[in-house]
Amino acid sequence: MSGIKGKVIAVTGAGSGIGEATALHLAGQGGRLVLGGRRKDRLDAVVDRITARGGSAVGSVVDVTRRADLKRLTDTAVDRFGRLDVLVSNAGTMAISPFDELRQDDWDAMVATHVTGLLNGIGAALPVFRRQRSGHFVNVASTAAHVVKSPQGVYAATKTAVKVLSEGLRQESGPDLRVTLVSPGFTDTEGVGRGASPEAAAALVRQRDEIAMPPSAVASAIGYAIEQPDGIDIGEIVVRPTAQA
């Protein structure tokens, strides 16, 4: 029996990229998936792929910036499968630009998605985990939480917040809960450069196309943390292509 088999796992940002790869990987190991994201058609497509392979998954349209949506996601897990074992907080936006462009809506979106979104997930899942006396938070940050590179200041700050919140949560989580921070480097997804300023987007896409690793590499890292025995907490994983400086 793998340590993933039978676990009820909610994943945000599950309609594409790392979230999609994670959902497929975990469902392939026998996890029961609850998938959240804003685009229903993308969630439905992932659910269909999982069920076509004999797996178990349900989708829920979720905007992580809304507290009630995260509550609906965790409620869906409990109503459908009777419990929630893992919340993978992965939803994100890489709308990167230099400060001088004053793209304040993008700054707000990164804070809302990565910081408020993570807190909304903690707020929804923590009571469930406490009630069950077990549960696992897996929070997706970035290598930008470790090294700041211009013009990624706002993005890096919000991902650093993910790192800090994860460690604070870990210290308070006690013997029953686990908290894992996963920091990917360049990963080959549609989100790289999306919403970024044209110059930043071109540089990011060029680098992605030259050196990025497949999203399945991040999915495997997340699976490794989840499959550990209950008493073992993988605190942090940094996974990047070898070619990334």
Ligand X SMILES: NC(=O)c1ccc[n+]([C@@H]2O[C@H](COP(=O)([O-])OP(=O)(O)OC[C@H]3O[C@@H](n4cnc5c(N)ncnc54)[C@H](OP(=O)(O)O)[C@@H]3O)[C@@H](O)[C@H]2O)c1
Binding footprint of ligand X on the chain (CB under 6 A): 12-13, 15-19, 37-39, 42, 62-65, 90-94, 113, 140, 142, 184, 186-187, 189-192
| Minimum separation from the CB atom of position 170 to ligand X (A) | 19
Active site (catalytic) residues:
155
Q: For residue 228, give the 3-state DSSP assignment.
A: coil
| Minimum separation from the CB atom of position 27 to ligand X (A) | 16
Whichever of 3 and 34 has its CB closer to ligand X, that residue is 34
Alpha carbons within 13 A on the beta-carbon side of 145: 26
CA–CA separation, 227 vs 245, rounded Å? 30
**CA distances for 1 relative to 29, 212, 227, 229, angstroms:** 10, 32, 10, 11
**CA distances for 244 relative to 9, 125, 185, angstroms:** 30, 34, 7
CA–CA separation, 194 vs 180, rounded Å? 27
Identify the helix (H) or strand (E) that includes residue 238.
strand 236-239
| Minimum separation from the CB atom of position 175 to ligand X (A) | 29
Burial class (CB in 10 A: 0-12, 13-18, 19+), 119: middle
Structure tokens at 118: 């993570």
Structure tokens at 134: 């077990």
Whichever of 148 and 232 has its CB closer to ligand X, that residue is 148
CA–CA separation, 138 vs 52, rounded Å? 26
Q: For residue 71, give the 3-state DSSP assignment.
A: helix
Whichever of 15 and 223 has its CB closer to ligand X, that residue is 15
| Minimum separation from the CB atom of position 46 to ligand X (A) | 9
Whichever of 72 and 130 has its CB closer to ligand X, that residue is 72
| Minimum separation from the CB atom of position 31 to ligand X (A) | 18
